[in-house]
Structure 1
Amino acid sequence: MMIRPYTDADEQGWLRCRVLAFLNTAYFDNVLQKKEHYENPSIELVAIENNQIVGLIDIEYEMEPQTICTAHDTVGGMIWHIAVHPDYQHRHIGEELIKAALKQAKALKLTYLEAWTRDNAKIQKWYEKMRFVQTYTYHHLYFDEPALEKYDLSVPAQVRPVTMFAHYTGSDPDVLNRASRRHLCMCYVKRII
């Protein structure tokens, strides 16, 4: 396996790897048709084996504190994407991607990495193994049409919401129970020493 910087020619392989890696996670419906490009500088790496992308990591980093990340008053990097193709999981590819990204982050004088994930025990355990610390949580809520009927949404008469995705920072069980689907969203932070 080789880890190298992402190039534009990698886009289709990057997309395939990400879609397949996310398929059996709480992010199964977060499908991209194009790879994101970032407003700020970034570390974008891919892991290659057998001439295909088997892993990826994208980190957009700050030039000034708290312009991308939320955790500290020093500059950090936001892990927007980290994924390993399901056929190549449990072979330490994610760990190698983190190590390679940390090396670059250290050279850039970043002081921490931040990542957000949803409630998945395996992924939480992996971040903790990589020495990330959970710092904050809130909920991602999905509402289907019957669940939305319970809310008075201020929208024009010609607009009829059918589904809705929302961030919820409260703890009212009634709100949580009204959602058709809900996930605990967690922030993990790793200090770079």
Structure 2
Amino acid sequence: MNIEIRAYRKEDETGWVRCRVLSFLDTVYYDNVFREKERYEHPAIELVAVYENQIVGLLDIEYELEERTVCSRGTGLGGMIWHIAVHPDFRRMKIGNQLLNEAEKLAKELNLNRLEAWTRDDLWVHGWYENNGFVNVNSYLHVYSDHTDEIKGVIKSNIDQLYPVQTFAHYTGENKEEIRKQFKRVHDCFCFEKNFN
């Protein structure tokens, strides 16, 4: 199978969105849906994997020209992996590895010293990062609620007759088990980092 790894082009947008949506459906990011490709404030390495004119993989890394303007950790200039996805019909063909290898080559040419990626608690995703030289360095919680009883006493509106029904929040405290008991949908969000030597 001949997979082409190349730079993203504007005309790839529909295929990029389709690939990303399909690849996220069987992950804990199943409802993190984009209707159009994200645009970045800083420069980005944007790659796609193409098979027979179909986008079957993608990788976006926004990178720094000034320290700590994109990445949340580390020193020197880094790049943040915002999106990496492989179409479910094309998994286990090393497409993600090919995208990452090309991105790392470009990142090193740009004098970046590391990549940072945040992901949730899909263990197979953790394994992929670890197998590619990333180290789990930090975590916090993503907390969802679409249950009024969970929100009551936690979130309220200062606007008369406006009632929160659904929330998404970050919990960065130490009492993670208490949060897990209080809310039905809680995900660990892990930071994986790869330093270039």
Question: Matched residue of 1:44: which SS?
Answer: strand
Deviations 1:94-129 (A, max 9, x none): 000000000000000000000000001100000000
What's the offset of the Cα at 1:152?
5.0
Distance 2:187 2:174 in 1: 13
1:180 to 184, 189, 195: 184
Runs of 4+ aligned structure 1 residues displaced above 6 Å come to none
Q: Percent identity?
A: 49
Distance 1:79 1:97 in 2: 12
Amino acid at match of 1:4: R
What's the offset of the Cα at 1:170?
1.5
Amino acid at match of 1:89: R
Amino acid at match of 1:179: F
Amino acid at match of 2:80: M
Question: Matched residue of 2:111: which SS?
Answer: coil
1:130-145 alignment to 2 at 5 Å?
A: 130-144=132-146, 145=148
Distance 2:79 2:155 in 1: 39
Change in Cα spacing, 1:3 to 1:153, as seen in structure 2 (3 Å) is same
Deviations 1:130-152 (A, max 9, x none): 01001110000001222112425
1:158 aligns with 2:171: no
Amino acid at match of 1:164: T
What's the offset of the Cα at 1:153?
2.4
Question: Matched residue of 1:45: which SS?
Answer: strand
What's the offset of the Cα at 1:73?
1.5
Change in Cα spacing, 1:17 to 1:157, as seen in structure 2 (3 Å) is same
Q: Which residue number in structure 2 is paired with residue 147 of structure 1?
A: 150
Distance 1:79 1:67 in 2: 14
Distance 1:179 1:121 in 2: 21
Q: Which residue number in structure 2 is paired with residue 103 of structure 1?
A: 105
Structure 1 length-normalised TM: 0.97
Deviations 1:55-108 (A, max 9, x none): 000000000111110121100000000000000000000000000000000000
Q: Gapped runs of 5+ residues in structure 2?
A: none
Amino acid at match of 1:9: E
Distance 1:181 1:16 in 2: 26
Q: Gapped runs of 5+ residues in structure 1?
A: none
The CA RMSD measured in Å over matched residues stands at 1.0
Point out the more displaced range, 153-162 or 104-113.
153-162
Question: Matched residue of 2:125: which SS?
Answer: helix
Distance 1:180 1:41 in 2: 38
Amino acid at match of 1:167: H
What's the offset of the Cα at 1:192?
1.7
Contact 2:22 2:88 in 1 (8 A): yes
Distance 2:86 2:180 in 1: 31
Point out the more displaced range, 112-121 or 164-173.
164-173
Deviations 1:18-75 (A, max 9, x none): 0000000010000000101111110000000121000000000000111110121100
